[in-house]
Chain A
């Protein structure tokens, strides 16, 4: 389907999920298409306005009033606003929050996904281990997932399960099996099922909704309180269940006492050991891939961050090792995988990379651990002369390749090629594969996230790239003497490769698939 048709279908609410996703993908990379969409939206708004005018003219046969005509007339709206406003003044409840607070980064998360084993999710949003979860429906179709609510409660979901996160201390279990452990600081953690509302009094329990019985609760440790819910529930006193006790509800409303059986639900140890097992397998597969890729003719320089003894070893053909300054040796995508943690403004790896490149791909596995807010260096050449790339994350969260080009008057002008704002709060703390390709012959710069192309831009002025002395994770020795801007990366890096070609999306996707955690 051509992009214009997609836009028309989107405008008229006819686009399927897949079509919206396709349009989204096209919009990221095509500015003209974004303009086209905005123009179409403008026409849409204009037509809506005209339709409203015509509908309010009595001479024209008015069609059935629609929801947007029922939008209360402005005068009424204004009156209501005045009423609300007046009431607010009267009750002196007017908030005085400064407007600028709107722009402050906010975290609307209620829980963190800490483990995901063979997990697949319903819907387009596929959370991964480390993802922050907002309030809303979490539908696990298969696999195991472990959540940590911000209140401290831990919950295991066994797929298929449908859990709605309501707040940091409350969830609704629509279907499936969960196991929860509630430490003292999270006492009062609530889980709601169609039959009852469970209030935890500091404990560990299992719950199943929609199995052979309508709902079932088993207490493994501590104590819970159950408040019957629904139409069939008289205002009876809450039930208290102690360790070893359980209750099963039939769909008829009939209750049966049962014995708690902790081994009937996946335990936290199970999740950990299955997740460790999966990680071991993935890591072993990566190690094998790592050995073959070192001999790949496309590799110019490769840092696999495996042996970190003060040097960062280049397993590529040139053996240009880097030296580690500061940085803590840490673990990477898998527990056994080496990584460097960059934290202080002094942390960096010094490298000196020879050669010049008409085509170049920079790729890395990174875990950004802070909301951007300022530039953070991934790989920055010391100087900023012509042909010296500055690969970094911009203050806006965009992946950016900075270069200087000669202006008509001969002066050097800074220019940059940036992706959309990829590093949103949701991506903080999550291992991410970033790549940028530079192609002087085709005249293009492209940015990729987890193997997917995010943007493509035409080069302003052609130049051959060279790197020479540079920093990984920082920008230490810029042009001017004395003080320099702080550009240190905050987070971890556990793989970085320079390729002597501009890799394509399918090549990068393949690399991503071979190296993802």
Chain B
């Protein structure tokens, strides 16, 4: 049978509206996934933009909604690897072998697990003092934000990054404890 002929078992074709909805719903997961392969958030933005266009171009190949995320991950992974290849000449980035291994590891995070981790993160973050919360969010609140906070506090940026590192470790511990308790 030629592949174009509709079969009675085939679900109805996905529409443009479906695409927008699926993209919006899965965007946080795709951003998190590409973050695990890329050295910074600028590149994540670039990859997600490029990937959205590719996904749209090839959307007619998608058969059902459940296939969206795995398929999108393949596209995102491909974009990440090609962007990293471009970076490779100018700066040190992870080797191909490590990227493969990281992608494999990141693959194991499903949407449900991500949702639970996100909830744990929200409540753990609330447990920190407001200045510490501000510092934890500073790296995502604008370029040079950490340095600015350091200037305000009269400390070196380096010292503040060290504090940030310790806070992040505490945060990770808190999240892990919370998830473990849930699992019991």
Contacts and interface: CB of A to CB of B under 8 A. Distances in A.
Contacts of A40: 168, 172
A37 B105 CA distance: 10
Interface string A36-48: 0111111111111
A431 B95 CA distance: 19
Contact of A420 (B20, B40, B101): B101
Nearest to B142: A66
Given A34-B101, A99-B74, A28 B95 contact: yes
Most buried by A among B91, B122, B168: B168
25 contacts: A8-B165, A8-B169, A9-B161, A10-B39, A20-B91, A21-B92, A24-B92, A24-B95, A34-B101, A35-B105, A38-B36, A40-B168, A42-B117, A50-B125, A50-B137, A51-B137, A66-B145, A77-B23, A77-B52, A84-B53, A103-B74, A136-B86, A136-B88, A421-B96, A426-B96
A43 B139 contact: no
Interface of A: 4-5, 8-14, 17-18, 20-21, 23-24, 27-28, 31, 34-35, 37-52, 54-55, 63-69, 71, 74, 77-78, 81-82, 84-85, 88, 94-95, 97-99, 102-103, 108, 123-125, 134, 136-137, 420-422, 424, 426, 454
Contact of B78 (A37, A54, A55, A102): A102
A334 B16 CA distance: 60
B141 interface: yes
A385 B113 CA distance: 41
B161 A12 contact: yes
Given A27-B101, A43-B117, 13 more contacts: A28-B98, A38-B36, A44-B35, A45-B28, A46-B118, A55-B141, A65-B142, A74-B24, A77-B49, A77-B52, A81-B52, A94-B60, A422-B97
B106 interface: yes
B69 interface: no
A38 B38 CA distance: 11
A69 B121 CA distance: 21
Most buried by A among B35, B49, B85: B35
Contacts of B28: 45, 49
A49 B141 contact: no
Given A8-B168, A65-B142, A420 B100 contact: yes
B166 to A, nearest CB: 9
A46 B95 contact: no
A84 B145 CA distance: 35
B150 interface: no
Given A27-B101, A43-B172, A136 B93 contact: no
Given A28-B98, A65-B142, A136-B89, A84 B106 contact: no
Interface string B133-168: 000110111110110000000000000010011001
Given A48-B140, A68-B45, A108-B85, A42 B102 contact: no
Main secondary structure of the interface of A (DSSP, over half): helix
A216 B114 CA distance: 59
A43 B52 contact: no
Nearest to B59: A85
Interface string B23-34: 110011001100
Interface in B74-96: 74-75, 78, 85-86, 88-96
A440 to B, nearest CB: 26
Contacts of B161: 8-9, 12, 14
B10 interface: no
Interface in B27-72: 27-28, 31-32, 35-36, 39-42, 44-45, 48-49, 52-53, 56-61, 71
B28 to A, nearest CB: 6
Nearest to B141: A63
A49 B23 contact: no
Contacts of A46: 32, 117-118, 121
- Pick the 3 closest A-B CB pairs, nearest first: A420-B97, A45-B32, A66-B142
